[in-house]
Amino acid sequence: MIIPVRCFSCGRVIATDYIKFRDEVERIRNTEKREPTKEEISKIFDDLGVKRYCCRRMIVSHIDLIDEVIEFD
């Protein structure tokens, strides 16, 4: 639906990191016209300071569905 505020396992605030991650992935898609590679994704996480894999899976596996639900009031 919408990105959880904190990581389910460790409690780190990941919602702001998700926004930055999404923008960075979008930037690579637009400038390079391709999907980001594994190494690029791991570099984005390192730069954001998302170190543990519990926080990384929160961001990697998230699908934002709220825009599809918002029409049905």
Partner 1 sequence: MKLTIMELQDRYIRFEIDGIDYSIANMLRRTLINDIPKLAIKNVIFHLGSIQRIDKDGKEHTYNSSSPLFNEIIAHRLGLIPLPTDLNMKFREDCEHPLDQACPLCTVTYTLTKYGPDTVYSGDLIPVGDSSFAPIEKEIPIVKLNETQALLIDAEAIMGTAKQHARWQVTSGVSYKYHREFLIPKIESDIIEKLKKDCPKNIINESDEGLLITDDIPCKHIASLFRIDGVKIKDDDSRFIFQFETDGSLTAKQTLLYAIHRLKERLSKIRDSITV
Q: Minimum CB separation from partner 1 for residue 34, in Å?
A: 26
Positive/negative CA dihedral, 10, 11, 12, 18: positive
Q: Is 47 in the site for partner 1 (CB under 8 A)?
A: no
Choosing from 34, 38, 39, 67, the residue that interacts with partner 1 (CB under 8 A) is 67
Choosing from 2, 29, 37, 42, the residue that interacts with partner 1 (CB under 8 A) is 2
Phi, psi at residue 6, to the nearest 5°? -120, 160
Q: Is 12 in the site for partner 1 (CB under 8 A)?
A: yes
- One-letter amino acid at 36 equals P
